[in-house]
Structure 1
C-alpha cells in the first residue's frame, strides 16, 4: 500500500510517500480501506520531532481516519464488511489501509460524507474526554476555549452549547471569532488585542469561568488561574506556549480549583475504547441528527499531503483539514 512517513524532523518537506506492507485485521480488529484522514496538531508535532509515537504504535502518522471496512479479524463483533466507519488511532492513518481495534471504531451516519467523517474522531474524543469525563462540564456553567477556531475548538463549542453551557473563546482574528460565534459561542476574545483575563471578568460579572480547555500551556498558566471561578477546572491539553510555568498555589487553594493535564494518543486501549463509547453517546447522535457541524476547512488529495501540512502551518485555517484518497 502507499503511505506517508516522516524522513527526519522538520517542515512539510520531510513527508515522503513510500510503499508499506498492507496490514491485516488481527483478532478483535477491523481492516479499514481509508477514504480520508484528518490532520491534527499532534501530526505536526511528530513531524517536528517533539511528539514521538507511543510504544507499539505505527511510525506512520495519522490519528483518525474514515473509510470502508475491508475485513474483520477473528472474534470481531458489531461490524460488517463494506460498512462506512471512522476510527481513532494511535498512528498509521496516512496510508491506504489501517487495522484498528473494533472498540475504537464508529459507524458513519448515513447523512455524513465519508470523507468529511475523517475529521470527527480525534476532536470528538478530545473534547468529550476532557470537557465531560475530566472536567464534568455541567449545564449552566461557563467554559473558556483557547484556540476556539481550530478543529478542537470548533467541536468543543458545539458540544458545550448542546450540553447547556455558555461558551467564551479566544482566537487570533476577527474572522476566526466570527467562525466561533457562528457555531454558538457567546463571545470571542482576540488575544492579540485584548487581555483575556480582563475580558472574562467583564463577560462573567467578575465571577470567572468554570472550565478552561487550554492548548497553550505554560504561557497561559497564571492567567488561566486568575480567569477561573471558585471551583474551576483547568484542563491542559497542549503545550504550544511551553511546558514549564509558575502557579500561585495560594490562589489555587483559595479558589478550590483544579488543574488537569491529559493526552489522548498514549492512553491504554481500554481507556480509548471507553472514550469512543462516550463519543458514541455524547456526539454521534448530534452528528446523525444534523445538529453537529464537522467544520471542514479544506480537503487535500492524498498525493498533496505536504500542501495540507503547509496550510496547517500557516495558521489561517478554521476547523479541520482532511486529506482524501
Structure 2
C-alpha cells in the first residue's frame, strides 16, 4: 500500500489563498480507535481561512492539513479488523461502509484518519456533497443551542449571520423544536429574505440598513430575545446584543468576525440589570467524549429529518478540489448562502 497521498498544502506553512496547492504528503496511519477514510468530499469552514493564515489555534491532536468535515468510504481500521463494533449508536462499522464525520483536521486530502466515534453512516437519500457539509455546521449549532444556551421549546432565539452554514442549521433546529420566535440578521437583503422564506425565521434584519437591536425589541414588545448566537463578537454587535437580550437571557459567542475589541466605554451594569449570561464556546478544542455526545445527538435528532427532507442542506457551490483556491475566495467574499464543498475524484 502506498505510503503517500495527495493533500492540500500551504506553501510556507501559512499564507494567502495563492499559497494553497496540492502536494504529495505522508499518508496517515490510523490508531487502534480510528478508521482510515478515503475522502470523497470535504466541507469548507471559516476556521480554515484563519488556519491558512496562521491565526487559528489548532488543537495539539490536529494534523497540519486543513479541514474538519468530510464524506467517504472506510478503507481500513487501525486495529487491522474488517469490522469495528464500537461505532457509536449506529452499530457496526465495516470496511467499505459509506460514512461522513467530524475530525480535528486533515480533511483536505485523499485519506483521513479519524475516530470511529465521530463517524456516521451515509444515508442513501443524501449525496456525498451534502454529507460533507453536515458535521461541523450542524454539530456546532446543536452545541450552541442545547449544551451551551440550554434552549427549550417556547424560548425565542436570534441567529446572527443568518445565511451562514451554522445559522442555516440553527434556524431550522429552532423552528423544528418550537421556538416561540426565531430571528436572524445578515448584511444583505437577499440573505435576510432567504432566512425568512427558505429557513422559516419569523423576521430577519439587515445590519447595514437597520438598527437590528431596536427591531428585535419592537418585535418582542420590548422583552428582547432569550438566546442570541453570535459569530461577530466585537464592534457594535457586542453592545447591541446586550440591548436585544431578554432578562435572564444567554448570549453565545462562537466567533470574532467583527474583531475582539468593544468600542468606547462599556458599562457592565447591564449584566446585573438583565441577569444575562455571556458565554464563549468552541467545538474543535473539545475532547472526543464531548464531541461524541454531540455526534450522537445529531444522529438521533437531525439525521431522520435529513433523510425525509424536513431539514434543508443548503450547498452554495461544489468545486473539484483542484480549485480549492477559488473555494477559499468564495468564503472570503462573504457572498455565499450555505456550504462550499470540494470533491475528490
The match for 1:212 is: 228
Q: 1: distance between equivalents of 2:239 and 2:224?
A: 14
Matches within 5 A, 1:90-169: 90-165=104-179, 166-169=181-184
Cα RMSD of the aligned pairs, angstroms, is: 1.3
Q: Which runs of 4+ in 1 moved over 6 A?
A: none
Residue ranges of structure 1 left out of the alignment (5+ in a row): none
* Residue 25 (structure 1) shift: 2.5
Q: Which structure 2 residue ranges, 5 or more long, are not aligned?
A: 86-91
Partner of 1:21: 26
2:19 paired with 1:2:
no
Deviates more, 1:209-218 or 1:276-285: 276-285
Partners in 2 of 1:18 and 1:37 — Cα distance? 17
Q: TM-score, normalised by structure 1?
A: 0.97
Match for residue 57 of structure 1? 62
* Counterpart in the other structure of 2:39: 34
Which whole-Å CA distance do the structure 1 matches of 2:272 and 2:116 have between them? 43
**How many Å separate the matches in 1 of 2:106 and 2:256?**
23
Q: More displaced, 80-89 or 183-192?
A: 80-89
Greater mean alpha carbon deviation, residues 209-218 or residues 70-79: 70-79
Deviation at 1:247, TM superposition (A): 5.0
8 Å contact 1:297–1:320 — kept in the other structure?
yes
After TM superposition, give the deviation of residue 10 of structure 1 in Å: 3.1
Partner of 2:341: 322
Question: Please, which of 189, 198, 204 is the counterpart of residue 205 of structure 2?
Answer: 189
1:221 to 238, 250, 266: 238
Larger radius of gyration: 2
Q: CA deviation at 1:229?
A: 0.5
Quote the residue 2:279 is aligned against. Answer: 260
Q: Which stretch shows the higher mean deviation, 178-187 or 119-128?
A: 178-187
1:140 match: secondary structure: coil
- 1:179 aligns to 2:194 (yes or no): yes
> Matched residues in 1 for 2:273 and 2:122: separation?
46
Size of the alignment, in residue pairs? Answer: 325
Please give the alpha-carbon distance, in whole angstroms, between the structure 2 residues aligned to 1:266 and 1:247: 29
User: Hey, what's the Cα distance between the residues in 1 that align with 2:9 and 2:296?
Assistant: 30
3-state DSSP class of the match of 1:309?
Answer: helix
User: Helix, strand or coil: the match of 1:201?
Assistant: helix
Task: Compute the displacement of 1:270 (Å).
Answer: 1.6
Q: Identify which of 236, 240, 250 aligns with 2:253.
A: 236
- 1:272-309 Cα offsets, whole Å, 9 max, x none, are 11221222222222112221111001001011111101
What is the CA deviation profile of residues 241-279 of structure 1, one whole-angstrom value per residue up to 9, with x for unaligned ones?
A: 112336533211221111110111111122111221222
Contact kept? 1:174, 1:190, Cα under 8 Å = yes
**Residue 322 of structure 2 corresponds to which residue in structure 1?**
303
Please tell me whether the aligned partners of residues 128 and 282 of structure 1 are also in contact (alpha carbons under 8 angstroms): no
Q: 1:205-246 CA distances to partner (integer Å, 9 max, x unpaired)?
A: 111001000000122211101100011000000011112336
- Give TM-score scaled by structure 2 length: 0.91
Q: Classify the secondary structure of the residue corresponding to 2:30.
A: coil
Give the match's secondary structure for 1:59.
coil
The one-character-per-residue Cα deviations of 1:64-96 (angstroms, maximum 9, x if unpaired) are 001111112327322112211111111100000
**Which residue does 1:285 correspond to in 2?**
304
